[in-house]
Amino acid sequence: MNKTDLIDHVASSAGMSKTAAGDAVDAVLSGITASLSGGGSVSLVGFGTFSVTARAARTARNPRTGEAIAVAASNAPKFKPGKALKDAVN
Protein backbone atom coordinates (compact mmCIF):
# COMPACT_ATOMS: atom_id res chain seq x y z
CA MET A 1 0.00 0.00 0.00
CA ASN A 2 1.36 3.41 -0.91
CA LYS A 3 0.21 6.88 0.15
CA THR A 4 -2.41 7.13 -2.62
CA ASP A 5 -3.88 3.76 -1.63
CA LEU A 6 -3.95 4.88 2.00
CA ILE A 7 -5.79 8.09 1.08
CA ASP A 8 -8.32 6.09 -0.97
CA HIS A 9 -8.87 3.72 1.96
CA VAL A 10 -9.34 6.57 4.46
CA ALA A 11 -11.75 8.33 2.10
CA SER A 12 -13.92 5.24 1.61
CA SER A 13 -13.80 4.15 5.28
CA ALA A 14 -14.62 7.59 6.71
CA GLY A 15 -17.08 8.59 3.98
CA MET A 16 -15.16 11.72 3.05
CA SER A 17 -13.77 13.16 -0.15
CA LYS A 18 -10.33 12.15 -1.36
CA THR A 19 -9.16 15.74 -0.93
CA ALA A 20 -10.21 15.83 2.72
CA ALA A 21 -8.72 12.37 3.32
CA GLY A 22 -5.45 13.50 1.69
CA ASP A 23 -5.36 16.55 3.94
CA ALA A 24 -5.99 14.33 7.00
CA VAL A 25 -3.24 11.86 6.08
CA ASP A 26 -0.81 14.72 5.38
CA ALA A 27 -1.68 16.31 8.74
CA VAL A 28 -1.02 13.06 10.62
CA LEU A 29 2.30 12.49 8.85
CA SER A 30 3.45 16.08 9.38
CA GLY A 31 2.49 15.87 13.07
CA ILE A 32 4.56 12.71 13.51
CA THR A 33 7.47 14.28 11.61
CA ALA A 34 7.33 17.47 13.68
CA SER A 35 7.31 15.55 16.95
CA LEU A 36 10.23 13.34 15.93
CA SER A 37 12.29 16.24 14.58
CA GLY A 38 11.83 17.97 17.94
CA GLY A 39 13.30 14.95 19.70
CA GLY A 40 10.00 13.59 21.01
CA SER A 41 8.12 10.38 20.35
CA VAL A 42 4.62 9.49 19.17
CA SER A 43 2.68 6.64 20.82
CA LEU A 44 -0.43 5.28 19.13
CA VAL A 45 -1.98 2.80 21.55
CA GLY A 46 -2.49 -0.57 19.89
CA PHE A 47 -0.51 0.45 16.79
CA GLY A 48 2.99 1.31 17.95
CA THR A 49 5.50 3.95 18.94
CA PHE A 50 7.61 6.18 16.73
CA SER A 51 10.82 7.45 18.34
CA VAL A 52 14.26 8.79 17.50
CA THR A 53 17.43 6.83 18.20
CA ALA A 54 20.99 8.12 18.11
CA ARG A 55 23.54 6.37 15.93
CA ALA A 56 27.15 6.70 17.02
CA ALA A 57 29.95 7.65 14.64
CA ARG A 58 31.71 4.61 13.19
CA THR A 59 34.17 3.46 10.58
CA ALA A 60 32.83 1.53 7.59
CA ARG A 61 34.52 -0.05 4.58
CA ASN A 62 33.89 0.55 0.90
CA PRO A 63 33.13 -2.97 -0.38
CA ARG A 64 34.63 -2.24 -3.81
CA THR A 65 37.98 -0.81 -2.72
CA GLY A 66 38.23 -1.84 0.94
CA GLU A 67 38.96 1.79 1.84
CA ALA A 68 37.95 2.90 5.35
CA ILE A 69 35.21 5.55 5.43
CA ALA A 70 34.22 7.64 8.45
CA VAL A 71 30.45 7.62 8.98
CA ALA A 72 29.23 10.58 11.05
CA ALA A 73 26.91 10.27 14.03
CA SER A 74 23.24 10.77 13.18
CA ASN A 75 19.70 10.42 14.45
CA ALA A 76 17.37 7.85 12.90
CA PRO A 77 13.61 7.30 13.21
CA LYS A 78 12.55 4.05 14.83
CA PHE A 79 9.19 2.23 14.98
CA LYS A 80 8.23 -0.31 17.61
CA PRO A 81 4.95 -2.10 16.82
CA GLY A 82 2.33 -2.47 19.54
CA LYS A 83 0.78 -5.73 20.69
CA ALA A 84 -2.45 -5.31 18.71
CA LEU A 85 -0.51 -4.75 15.47
CA LYS A 86 1.74 -7.75 16.17
CA ASP A 87 -1.29 -9.93 16.85
CA ALA A 88 -3.07 -8.74 13.68
CA VAL A 89 -0.06 -9.57 11.52
CA ASN A 90 0.54 -13.02 13.03
DSSP state letters, 1-29: --HHHHHHHHHHHHT--HHHHHHHHHHHH
Residue 67's pLDDT is: 96
Mean pLDDT for the chain overall? 95
Structural class in CATH, domain 41-90: few secondary structures
Quote the Cα angle for 5-39-45, to 5°. 50
> Residue 6 corresponds to which amino acid?
L
What is the value of pTM for the model shown?
0.81
pLDDT interval class at 57 (50, 70, 90): very high
Average pLDDT over residues 3-22: 96
